[in-house]
Amino acid sequence: MKRTLSRYLKPDHYCAALDDLDFDALFKDGYRLVLIDVDNTLARHGSFQADDYALSVVKQAAAAGLACRIVSNAGPKRIQSFAQTLGIPYIAWAKKPSI
């Protein structure tokens, strides 16, 4: 099971910043979900609340028809607080990249 999951839970795209993603193109290609980390991706390491950048990214993805989920190795208290400011679900202590 672990080997099977790891085959599917690999990034399909890499980019320097989330602003570089073409969310509309991803939707047209059949994607419906964006898994996003918080630390050094949506926000600075240790942030408890989303800033304008994080809000903008999630709004852009939603406008394209994509659902967003936070997947973070951080603890649940902080990630819950962060996710609530964005209004999206989260998984804390995800233990990435080990699954």
pTM: 0.82
> pLDDT digits over 79-98, tens only?
999 999 999 999 999 988 77
Q: Cα dist. 67→3, 36, 86 in Å? A: 26, 11, 12
What pLDDT does 77 receive? 94
Stretch among 2-11, 34-43, 59-68, 82-91 having the lowest mean pLDDT: 2-11
Query: Hey, how many other C-beta atoms are within 10 angstroms of the C-beta on 38?
Result: 26
What pLDDT does 6 receive? 66
Residue 36 clears pLDDT 70, i.e. is over it: yes
* Domains of the chain, residue spans: 2-91
